[in-house]
Amino acid sequence: MINQELLDKMTHEMVDNKHVFSTVFCVEDEKGSFSYTSAAGEMKADDFYYIASVTKLYITAVVLILKNKHQLNLDEKIINYFPDGYLDGLHIYQGVDYTHDITIKHLISNTSGIPDYFFGKDTHGQSGADELLDGKDSIWSFEKTLSFVKNMKPKFKPGQKGKAEYSDTNYQLLGQILTAITGKEVGELFQTLLFKPLELKKTYIYCDPQDQKPASMYYQKHILKVPLYMSSIASEGGIVSTAKECMIFLKAFFGGFFFDPKELEALQRWHFMLRPATMYFGVGLEKLWTPWYITGGKSVSNILGFWGQTGSFAFYHQDSGLYFTGTANQINGRGHNAAYKAILKLIRQA
């Protein structure tokens, strides 16, 4: 049975002071019969944290809202939203420039083939993450991303059957397109379309490098301070929130607040990613699947939502009706592992 005592025990087990130094975890059920939030280590239950790439789930909500208002077409070519020639050379694969073939759907489903500027390597073997994870903070503008990615090799042709590759570059492009369509910056769109309707008071775009409200995130055993970078990536990972307010958004996303829940079916066009991890990517949505030999019994499927690079998470398990939000504030993957184990344990309890 899920209760506060169990969640408190789990969050304290997640913090080992070797890999995970702080965590906050919120779990609710779809019936509204319980809501528990717990924190351990350096965090308190209502602390602010960088939700990182969980921000992409908020982008999905904005895209669907605009699509339903007939302001956006997923099949529209992305070059239509940029000056002539601006994107030329962005996607040269086997000597052919496929930039003009890329659609909005390719971006939000990570099927564009455009390299990931953050972890992908350029022709000199460097990635955008190298200096940042070394503590050398800097603003990462869209122009910087374009210049960097044009010196990288695409993974495949846009929309190539059976191919998908996670890319933060896709979401930087999406942010620019959303601004071109609406005339509003991404932060303003979030506020108008998402935060205000849900009455979120502790959720915002991180835009002031002097802002020290978010909890410290770690890379291995060291605190990683990159406020300049975090203030420049609104559309791919710039939201700051709390576990409770992330939960409000997550339940609204899957519960039909922004769009008809039937539209979620169209998002579930899965591509297997991050081998050997069992993660799939759809249209602006991630799915976790755990085989029976890991759980020691029945396989666990249909865990839908998003991971963030900081160990943040927002997932809904359809079979049990459970929702999970929070963070482990660890970049190197140990936080994700700890959170994933906790999610599976709670599903088994249900």
What does the pLDDT read at residue 295?
A: 65
Per residue, the 3-state secondary structure of the chain, as one string, reads: CCCHHHHHHHHHHHCCCCCCCEEEEEEEECCCCCEEEEEEECCCCCCCEECHHHHHHHHHHHHHHHHHCCCCCCCCEHHHHCCCCCCCCCCEECCEECHHHCEHHHHHCCCCCCCCCCCCCCCCCCCCHHHHHCCCCCCCCHHHHHHHHCCCCCCCCCCCCCCCCCCHHHHHHHHHHHHHHHCCCHHHHHHHHHHCCCCCCCCEECCCCCCCCCCCEEECCEEECCHHHHCCCHHHHCEEECHHHHHHHHHHHHHCCCCCCCHHHHHCCCEEECCCCCEEECCCCEEEEECHHHHCCCCEEEEEEEECCCCCEEEEECCCCEEEEEECCECCCHHHHHHHHHHHHHHHHC
What does the pLDDT read at residue 122?
A: 83
What does the pLDDT read at residue 349?
A: 87
CB atoms within 10 A of CB 151: 14
What does the pLDDT read at residue 276?
A: 42
The mean pLDDT values, 10 residues at a time, for the chain of 350 residues are 96 94 97 96 97 98 97 97 96 97 97 95 88 91 95 95 94 98 98 98 98 96 96 97 98 96 89 68 90 69 93 96 97 93 91
Cα 286 to Cα 81, 137, 200, 316, 325, distances in angstroms: 26, 29, 24, 11, 14
Q: What are phi and psi of 330, to 5 degrees?
A: -135, 125
What does the pLDDT read at residue 102?
A: 98
Burial track 80-110 (b if 16+ CB lie within 10 A, e otherwise): ebbeeeebeebbebeeeebbebbbbbbbbbb
Instruction: Report the C-alpha gap between 188 and 282 in whole angstroms.
Output: 26
Q: Name the pairing type of β-strands 239-241 and 222-224.
A: unpaired
What does the pLDDT read at residue 273?
A: 77
Q: Which domains occur in the chain, in start order?
A: 4-61+186-349 (3.40.710.10), 73-160 (no CATH)
What does the pLDDT read at residue 292?
A: 64
